């Protein structure tokens, strides 16, 4: 069984399958060892598809139930159904274009985003049985993709923010994520000075807190938000880190489904 991080908070719901994979337990060779799920990083196609099969099996599903969008660091959100099953995941050529978050209310569809420092955000509306996962790098974060995803859930399924449970996952931490002064200023204007940590003349960005602030401002109760608190760059033996490994690395993934 492959190792997977899960939020204890979300594990209280037996109808929910969710997790964040590590870099361990797969078949890819260095520098993608071993559970690389990214198709566009230089790894062998067959290895990536086998790794994706292992992850789907962990979730009790087949790769043909997986849906993986073309991530472009946007704030674009798509609602998916059974007609989209397999797109981008089992069948890479049918990928959903230019999308960084997925929403569904259908059971046994595995929503997937790949990561190597960016932030996965899980959302679950138990009242209406709606799930979502977002891929939030700095561009998506400042574009408020977590908020956009929640708004789309509200507009299309009647989701009430006070009924949403959220998990903000494994990502590069403010301990390691140095950013330019201009980007730090942008984030301070958008989310407040608390998302930037200054060390002498260096600025470090807290992506996790930036996503959490979006959810709080959107009406999700703080007691309904759990954060992983795990830095990819500090834990590069367990997770892929684009920054720490200078771009030559694989991708782990965040997955969510309804039973």
Q: Residue 1 has what pLDDT? A: 84
Q: Residue 77 has what pLDDT? A: 98
Q: Residue 20 has what pLDDT? A: 98
Q: What is the CATH number of domain 4-173+221-258?
A: 3.60.140.10
Q: Residue 84 has what pLDDT? A: 98
Strand order in the sheet with 196-199: 178-179, 202-205, 196-199
Residue pair 19/58 in contact by the 8 Å Cβ criterion: yes
| CA–CA distances in Å: residue 104 to residues 29, 174, 256 | 34, 31, 10
Q: Residue 226 has what pLDDT? A: 98
Ranges of each domain in the chain: 4-173+221-258
Residue 172 falls in which region: left (phi positive, over 0), alpha (psi -120 to 50) or beta = beta
Single out the residue of 57, 49, 41, 50 nearest to residue 4, CA to CA: 57
- Angle (CA) 100-108-46 rounded to 5° is 65
Radius of gyration for the chain, computed over Cα atoms and rounded to the nearest angstrom: 17
Q: Which residues contact 49 (CB under 8 A, 6 or more apart)?
A: 63, 90
Q: Residue 151 has what pLDDT? A: 98
Rounded CA-CA distance 218/245 in Å is 35
One digit per residue, the tens of pLDDT, for the chain of length 259 reads: 899 999 999 999 999 999 999 999 999 999 999 999 999 999 999 999 999 999 999 999 999 999 999 999 999 999 999 999 999 999 999 999 999 999 999 999 999 999 999 999 999 999 999 999 999 999 999 999 999 999 999 999 999 999 999 999 999 999 999 999 999 999 999 999 999 999 989 999 999 999 999 999 999 999 999 999 999 999 999 999 999 999 999 999 999 999 9
Single out the residue of 19, 73, 28 nearest to residue 248, CA to CA: 28
């Amino acid at each position: 069984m492959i190792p997977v991080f899960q939020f204890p908070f979300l594990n209280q719901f037996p109808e929910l399958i969710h997790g964040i994979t590590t870099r361990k337990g797969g078949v890819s060779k260095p520098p993608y060892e071993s559970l690389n799920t990214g198709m566009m990083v230089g790894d062998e196609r067959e290895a990536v598809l086998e790794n994706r099969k292992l992850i789907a099996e962990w979730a009790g599903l087949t790769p043909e139930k997986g849906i993986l969008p073309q991530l472009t660091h946007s704030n674009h959100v798509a609602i998916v159904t059974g007609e989209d099953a397999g797109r981008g995941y089992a069948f890479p050529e049918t990928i959903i274009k230019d999308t960084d978050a997925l929403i569904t209310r259908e059971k046994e569809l595995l929503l997937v985003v790949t990561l190597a420092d960016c932030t996965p955000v899980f959302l679950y509306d138990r009242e209406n049985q709606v799930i979502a996962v977002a891929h939030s790098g700095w561009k998506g974060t400042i574009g408020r993709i977590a908020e956009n995803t929640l708004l789309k859930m509200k507009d299309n399924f009647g989701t009430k923010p006070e009924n949403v449970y959220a998990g903000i996952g494994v990502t590069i931490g403010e301990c390691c994520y140095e950013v330019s002064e201009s980007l730090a200023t942008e984030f301070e204007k958008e989310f407040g000075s608390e998302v930037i940590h200054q060390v002498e003349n260096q600025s470090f960005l807290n992506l996790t807190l930036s996503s959490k602030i979006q959810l709080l401002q959107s009406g999700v109760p703080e007691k309904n938000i759990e954060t992983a608190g795990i830095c990819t760059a500090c834990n590069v033996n367990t997770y892929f880190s684009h920054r720490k490994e200078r771009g030559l690395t694989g991708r782990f993934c965040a997955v969510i489904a309804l039973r």
